Structure 1
Amino acid sequence: MITSGAERPCRPFWRVSLACGLLALGSVATLTGCETVAGAGATGISVDGQGRPVVVFALCNDHIDGATIFRDRIAADPKGGDSSVSVADWDAVSPVTPAIAMHASLNTAEPSASWLRVGPVEALQPGTRYVAYGWTRDNTWFTGHVEFTLERLSKLKPGQVLTQTYVEADKRDEDRVQPYSQFAAEACA
């Protein structure tokens, strides 16, 4: 993911896991570049009173230092080695810990004084799948990601949190909408 013209060493955990798993299956002896990043909680997406995206976090341990929203690379994007494109990045002014996670929501249109926008921001477009997650600068922790589209956000009311739950029987993720308190309690259960 690109931020301020420099490549961030952190990749979404599921992409790192997939890449490392495929390398391991291929009997590759050395997995250089594949890092193991521990989960610190979950990411959800909500909306403010004007229907604009608000990234929310449920932290179970440790902290996060920032947040990213990305999308899949398309043909019109500049060439790059990554299959995703960062559309917005933020640094937390101070680490977001479990004690303050509830109050560290990130309004993407009007971030609070707790967040600093890093680099350019790409306007979110209808019909595009976005993914949001939290991370640490040293790649030791992350929050599980949430996928969303503007169409899915249009169905939310302020205070509702969209997440996904994997349904084993169907072998797919299913959207789930719940109040923040339930999202936080279940993420750390």
Structure 2
Amino acid sequence: MSLHSPGRARWRAKAAAGLLAAAFMTALAGCETVAGAGSTGISVDAQARPVIVFAVCNDHIDGATIYRDRTKADPTGEDTTVSVASWDAVSPVTPTTAMHAMLNSVAPSRSWSRTGSSEPLRPGVVYQAYGWTRDNTWFTGHVEFTLERLSRLTPGQVLTQTYIPSKDQDVDTVQSYEQFSAEACKGTR
């Protein structure tokens, strides 16, 4: 049989397809999936400063980050976003401690320590905040906000987004912390 026979060509094509499939499955098996531990909301304190709040439904989170989209003025990087500020929780934030683990982004309590550099929040910029674990196993869904949106909140109100399938978009939702926590963890506790 010739090296260029139709049978040999089919065998090589099947072998190549099999190797590609095996490589693809190996790559998928190596992918890590971060599980959702709950949701993140944003509120304000009595001085109208941003306060990140969490509804932790499963396991825990170890920290929080506020980020924004990268602009032309930022140094180039692989990521399309830029971390604005990040904090480590002194102790893990769990479903039972989440209500008391609110993070004032300007004047954090002793339960949080800022890590790395930070930049001040600016009007007109869209920010997102979320909670995470050090080992990248859990996260809380992010919340999107601007300083202008926060200016319409009063202390105790929590801003989140709700997906509306008929509009195929997220819309702002403002509710109490208790409603936020109950909605975020519906069916998980």
Normalising by structure 2, we get a TM-score of 0.83
Give the CA deviation at 1:31.
4.8
- From 166, 182, 185, give the equivalent of 1:185: 182
Residue by residue over 1:11-37, the C-alpha shift from the partner in whole angstroms, topping out at 9 and shown as x without a partner, is xxxxxxxxxxxxxxxx99235984310
Structure 2: give runs of 5+ residues left out of the alignment: 1-20
Q: Which residue of 2 aligns with 1:109?
A: 106
Q: Which residue of 1 aligns with 2:43?
A: 46
Is 1:143 equivalent to 2:140 in the alignment? yes
Q: Which residue of 2 aligns with 1:36?
A: 33
RMSD of the TM alignment (CA)? 1.4
* CA spacing shift, 1:116–1:33, aligned 2, 3 Å: farther
Structure 1: give runs of 5+ residues left out of the alignment: 1-26
Q: Which amino acid aligns with 1:156?
A: L
Q: Which residue of 2 aligns with 1:127?
A: 124
Quote the sequence identity (%). 71
Residue by residue over 1:162-181, the C-alpha shift from the partner in whole angstroms, topping out at 9 and shown as x without a partner, is 00000000000000000000
* CA spacing shift, 1:113–1:81, aligned 2, 3 Å: same
Structure-2 separation of matches of 1:75 and 1:44: 28
- Greater helix share, structure number: 2
Q: Which residue of 2 aligns with 1:79?
A: 76
Structure-1 separation of matches of 2:86 and 2:93: 15
Structure-2 separation of matches of 1:34 and 1:92: 27
Give the CA deviation at 1:121.
1.1
Structure-2 separation of matches of 1:104 and 1:185: 16
Q: Which residue of 2 aligns with 1:169?
A: 166
How many residues were matched structurally?
163
Residue by residue over 1:68-111, the C-alpha shift from the partner in whole angstroms, topping out at 9 and shown as x without a partner, is 00000000001110000000000000101111100000000100
User: Looking at CA atoms only, which structure, 1 or 2, has the larger radius of gyration?
Assistant: 2
